[in-house]
Amino acid sequence: GENVGLHLPTLSVQEGDNSIINCAYSNSASDYFIWYKQESGKGPQFIIDIRSNMDKRQGQRVTVLLNKTVKHLSLQIAATQPGDSAVYFCATNFGNEKLTFGTGTRLTIIP
Amino acid sequence: KAGVTQTPRYLIKTRGQQVTLSCSPISGHRSVSWYQQTPGQGLQFLFEYFSETQRNKGNFPGRFSGRQFSNSRSEMNVSTLELGDSALYLCASSLANPEDTQYFGPGTRLTVL
């Protein structure tokens, strides 16, 4: 069945350090992957996406890595700031148009 | 460009009542999807509308329904509310195609007493 999971429910990182949030998926038919950030009281905010024909994609301070062999997705945030504290979700569409979300990792940046 | 807007932001209802939530997509976006977010189940897909037609549907009972208007605005309705329907209901809009990025609104927090 369809399943998307995050490896750690919580993660604490010192301000200025890099953080890595991991996500695993089960369906090899997945062809589109997205990372969202959700701050308290707000809806999920798009961070970065990647399609299955790519292994890596970079944005501003963020990098998404896709390993299709082991069905693993990661989000790297460089030089973390207090504003990066939020819940991060990975999502994928399993090739059937609707997004399926992981359970989320709560990232806390320690000043 | 204005983002996705949802009204109301907060709502309190009692069991058995019905509720209608509204979503206005980003200008030019024609696809609207609805999600339910709870601490226990996370984000779960309800349904997606495109060109006033339901294009995709999640695994929710028939008490959950929706519609889309010609201006792409969408509403979702929940009838015969149950305590377990308490959740954050999120609307997301995208241009048109399934692979287009979805942008979320702030959500409507529904509490059923």
Rounded to whole angstroms, how far apart are CA atoms A78 and B16? 49
Mutate to test the interface with A, among B31, B48, B53, B104 (most CBs of A within 10 A): B104
pLDDT in tens, A8-58: 789 999 999 999 999 998 888 888 899 999 999 899 999 999 999 999 999
Counted across chains A and B, CB pairs separated by less than 8 A come out at: 53
Strands B108-112 and A100-101: unpaired
How far apart are alpha carbons B105 and B32 in whole angstroms? 11
Contact A12, A108 (CB under 8 A): yes
Q: Which two tokens stand for residue B5?
A: 């807007």
Q: Are the C-beta atoms of A31 and A84 separated by less than 8 Å?
A: no
Q: Is a pLDDT exceeding 80 seen at residue A3? A: no
Question: Does B45 contact A at CB distance below 8 Å?
Answer: yes
Range from A8-12, A69-73, B68-72, B105-109 carrying the lowest mean pLDDT:
A8-12
For B1-60, what is each residue's pLDDT tens digit? Answer: 689 999 999 999 999 999 999 999 999 999 999 999 998 888 999 999 999 999 989 999
